[in-house]
Structure 1
Amino acid sequence: MKPNHYTEIPATFEVQLEQLKDYDSKKHISARGIMFYHPYDIEVPSILKISLKMISMTGSVDFLVKTLKSEKIGNEPLFEIHCNFYDTNAEKEDEVLSFISSY
């Protein structure tokens, strides 16, 4: 996977995470994914349900990802998280990426 397959989630979005402990780990993982900054380290690999919301708007988009990388950012209190879409079809991936790029 090349780094340019990751779309960065801007700071204007609220990212809510829910770790799914008993989710089937043998599902399809996409070559496309997202990258965001988070104040806590996230277990790699893990399956997350992400609810993505524009801070100034109502409504959200929900999708599943598999975390592939969680890296501390220097002396900052943040982690850079890389996730690939998981158990999702191409239409849903396009919907999420369009939602992110529209703001």
Structure 2
Amino acid sequence: MFVAVYTKTMKPNHYTEIPATFEVQLEQLKDYDSKKHISARGIQFFHPYDIEVPSILKISLKMISMTGSIDFLVKTLKSEKVDKEGLYEIHCNFYDTNAEKEDEVLEFIKSF
């Protein structure tokens, strides 16, 4: 029997909520390499449909009142129905990206 012992406490994943003032467009990618890097950071949003775990999604995020968008990839790690709301709470971690791109996305979200 193998027992893992951690000398440091593991940090929880950090999810930034996408506010309702953003439009989220999703495209589920069929062909992907499951061994690519998954970040500890990610996003959380509400969606009217369940998204299968672990799906790889291309997300285009834009402000409803502005033109232009920011595109990035995520891996869905959690999809949970919200009681009585008819929505699903979706948690995704950044996928196949680097810290600079993640910072750019998170700053874009936080700037509005």
TM-score normalised to the size of structure 2? 0.89
Provide the residue aligned with 2:79 in structure 1: 70
SS class of match (1:92) = helix
CA drift of 1:29 comes to: 0.1
Give the greater-gyration-radius structure (CA): 2
SS class of match (1:32) = strand
Provide the residue aligned with 1:21 in structure 2: 30
The superposition leaves residues 8-49 of structure 1 with CA deviations (integer Å, 9 ceiling, x where unpaired) of 000000000000011111100000000000000000001000
Amino acid aligned to 1:101: K
CA drift of 1:2 comes to: 2.2
The superposition leaves residues 57-85 of structure 1 with CA deviations (integer Å, 9 ceiling, x where unpaired) of 00000000000000000011100000000
Unaligned runs of 5+ in 2: 1-10
After the TM superposition, which parts of structure 1 deviate over 2 Å for at least 4 consecutive aligned residues? Answer: none
Alignment size in residue pairs: 102
Note the aligned Cα RMSD (angstroms): 0.9
Provide the residue aligned with 1:2 in structure 2: 12
TM-score normalised to the size of structure 1? 0.96
Hey, what's the Cα distance between the residues in 2 that align with 1:25 and 1:57?
A: 34
Provide the residue aligned with 2:6 in structure 1: none
- Percent identity over the alignment is 86
